[in-house]
């Protein structure tokens, strides 16, 4: 039984999201797409999963206002404001580099959230959230702090549950889950942490690969492991070990020749599979997953997490680059 089902949950998305083979990319491709771009909750993509648990937890604790933050481009920040509105809670979004009129910030404002520019370093957002929570308590409010990306043990339950979901889908499709390689993008680490916690709860040793786009692999690995352990403690299940996942480091490759090549991959996915890849998470994760189809145990499951605002923003840049041909050897 999925232990996450014992936890309060405010349904926001439509689950399970589809799991299907790529259709036109390559005839023999053993690449499966897990379509969290289709969670059905606004522009939230994969972020609908942690938010279902976080919103229910806020309500269960009698909170009346959610305080979160992030970069102006943070999908999570916009989705958190959206979810708060649906949950009947006020919301404040603290933005490091504000003021900005990105899609996530516009969504947050449209959902009635107060958007505050904190100035300074993005890494200090957690401190700014903690300070704002104290101020709100002094005002007699009951704030619910949500760190960037929803990376709390409760938030991680979203992807712990997703591990159960995709396991059942693979079995339904006649695929042996123990032979699968799951490839996920990693920003805050909430998704990967939850996923390995859920995998450990099932006692399932499939191969899990995180593609880290913001923090170096060793730092991210210890963060993910600690968060996963806290999530396992909530579920009352055994914790994941460091051998349960690997992290591929894709940090710091912005505006390089390689990135220009990535845009070709984005165009290819758009025009063959009909999928919009965002440059921060979707493109590097696709590239890693695609390369793995040549070497890994089959199938490779690419977690397509959404990122539609950034995908749309990058459309013009993508047009400048040639379409690249994906060869049967798996290289691009
Ligand atoms: C589109 C998209 N994919 C993946 C991620 C990474 O998820 P996580 O923060 O849980 O590591 C994010 C995080 O913001 C995201 O917006």
pLDDT tens by residue, 48-60? 999 999 999 999 9
Q: pLDDT (tens digit, 9 = 90+) per residue, 104-115?
A: 999 999 999 999
Cβ 184 under 6 angstroms from ligand 1: no
Alpha-carbon gap, residue 55 to 88, rounded angstroms: 10
Residue 297 is predicted with a pLDDT of 66
Residues 169-190 have pLDDT tens digits of 999 999 999 999 999 999 999 9
pLDDT at 19: 96
Nearest CA to ligand 1 atom 3: 305
Mean pLDDT in residue range 34-52:
98
pLDDT at 258 over 80: no
Q: Is the beta carbon of 155 within 6 A of some atom in ligand 1?
A: no
- Give 82's pLDDT tier (boundaries 50, 70, 90): very high
Q: What is the DSSP letter of 159?
A: H
Among residues of the chain, what percentage have pLDDT more than 70?
88
Q: Which two tokens stand for residue 324?
A: 């690249």
**Alpha-carbon torsion (154, 158, 163, 165), positive or negative:** positive
pLDDT score for 132: 96
Q: Given a cut of 70, is residue 32 above it in pLDDT?
A: yes
Percent of the chain with pLDDT strictly greater than 90: 70
The pLDDT of residue 123 is: 73
* CA 20 to ligand 1 center in whole angstroms: 21
Q: Which domains does the chain have, with CATH numbers?
A: 3-45+152-319 (3.40.50.1100), 64-141 (3.40.50.1100)
Instruction: Output the CA 140–ligand 1 centroid distance in Å.
Output: 33
Whether ligand 1 lies within 6 angstroms of the CB of 307 is answered as yes
Residue that wins the pLDDT comparison between 266 and 326: 266
Predicted confidence (pLDDT) at residue 263 exceeds the cutoff of 70: no
Per-residue pLDDT, 89: 98
Half-sphere exposure at residue 266, Cβ-oriented, CA atoms within 13 angstroms: 29
Alpha helices in the chain (DSSP H): 48-60, 75-87, 103-110, 125-138, 153-172, 190-201, 217-235, 257-272, 282-292, 308-313, 315-319
* Residue 6 alpha carbon to ligand 1 centre in Å: 25
Return the pLDDT at 27.
57
Q: Tell me, what's the pLDDT at 317?
A: 66
Decide: 189 in ligand 1 pocket, CB within 6 A: yes
Return the structure tokens found at 283. Answer: 């493109």
For residue range 297-325, list pLDDT tens digits in order.
678 999 999 999 989 888 876 554 434 43
- Predicted pLDDT of residue 103: 94
Q: Compute φ and ψ for 53, nearest 5 degrees.
A: -80, -40
- Are the beta carbons of 107 and 43 closer than 8 angstroms? yes
- Indicate the burial class of 185 (C-beta count within 10 angstroms; 0-12, 13-18, 19 or more): buried
Bond prior to 16 in cis (omega within 30° of 0): yes
State which ligand 1 atom lies nearest to the alpha carbon of 148: 9
CB-ligand 1 contact for 76 (6 Å cutoff): yes
What is the CA(58)–ligand 1 centre distance, in A? 21
Looking at residue 54, what is its pLDDT?
98
Which atom, in ligand 1's list, is nearest to the CA of 45? 1
Q: How far is CA 51 from the centre of its chain?
A: 11
The predicted pLDDT at position 268 comes to: 79
Give the mutation target among 72, 281, 302, 308 for probing the ligand 1 site: most ligand atoms within 8 A of CB. 281
pLDDT at 261 over 70: no
Query: Which of the residue ranges 67-81, 148-162, 197-211, 269-283 would you say has the lowest mean pLDDT?
Result: 269-283
Q: Separation of 189 CA from ligand 1 center, angstroms? A: 8
Question: Using CA atoms, how far apart are residues 107 and 78, in angstroms rounded to an integer?
Answer: 6
Name the closest-CA residue to atom 5, ligand 1.
187
Is 198:166 a contact under the CB 8 Å cutoff? no
Ligand 1 site-directed mutation target among 47, 52, 223, most atoms within 8 Å of CB: 47
Residue recorded with tokens 């999201």: 17
Nearest CA to ligand 1 atom 16: 75
Determine the distance separating the centroid of ligand 1 and the alpha carbon of 162, expressed in angstroms: 14
* 212 Cβ inside 6 Å of ligand 1: no
Q: What is the signed CA dihedral for 164, 168, 174, 177, rounded to 10 degrees?
A: 10
d(CA 36, CA 271): 19
**The residue to which tokens 């499966």 are assigned:** 32
User: What pLDDT does 316 receive?
Assistant: 74
257 falls in which pLDDT band (50, 70, 90)?
Answer: very low
């Amino acid at each position: 039984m999925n232990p996450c089902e014992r936890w309060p949950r405010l349904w926001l998305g439509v689950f399970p999201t589809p799991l299907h083979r790529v259709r036109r990319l390559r005839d023999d491709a053993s690449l499966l797409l897990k379509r969290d771009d289709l969670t059905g909750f606004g522009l939230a993509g994969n972020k609908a999963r942690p938010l279902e648990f976080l919103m229910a937890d806020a309500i269960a604790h009698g909170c009346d206002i959610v305080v979160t933050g992030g970069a102006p481009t943070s999908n999570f920040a916009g989705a958190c404001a959206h979810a708060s509105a649906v949950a009947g809670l006020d919301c404040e979004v603290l933005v490091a580099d504000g003021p900005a009129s990105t899609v996530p910030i516009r969504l947050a404002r449209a959902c009635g959230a107060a958007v505050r520019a904190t100035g300074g370093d993005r890494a200090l957002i957690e401190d700014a959230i903690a300070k704002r929570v104290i101020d709100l308590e002094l005002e007699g409010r009951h704030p619910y702090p949500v760190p960037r990306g929803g990376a709390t043990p409760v938030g991680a339950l979203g992807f712990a549950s997703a591990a159960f979901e995709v396991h059942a889908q693979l079995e339904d499709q006649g695929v042996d889950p123990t032979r699968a390689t799951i490839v996920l993008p990693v920003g805050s680490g909430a998704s990967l942490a939850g996923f390995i916690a859920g995998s450990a709860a099932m006692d399932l040793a499939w191969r899990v690969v995180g593609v880290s786009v913001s923090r170096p692999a060793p730092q991210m690995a210890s963060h993910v492991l600690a968060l996963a352990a806290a999530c396992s403690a909530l579920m009352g299940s055994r914790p994941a070990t460091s051998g349960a996942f690997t992290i591929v480091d894709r940090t710091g490759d912005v505006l390089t020749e390689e990135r220009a090549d990535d845009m070709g991959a984005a165009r290819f996915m758009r025009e063959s599979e009909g999928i919009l890849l965002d440059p921060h998470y979707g493109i590097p994760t696709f590239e890693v997953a695609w390369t793995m189809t040549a070497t890994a145990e089959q199938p490779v499951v690419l977690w397509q997490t959404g990122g539609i605002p950034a995908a749309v923003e990058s459309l013009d840049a993508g047009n400048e680059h040639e379409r690249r041909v994906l060869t049967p050897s798996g290289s691009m």
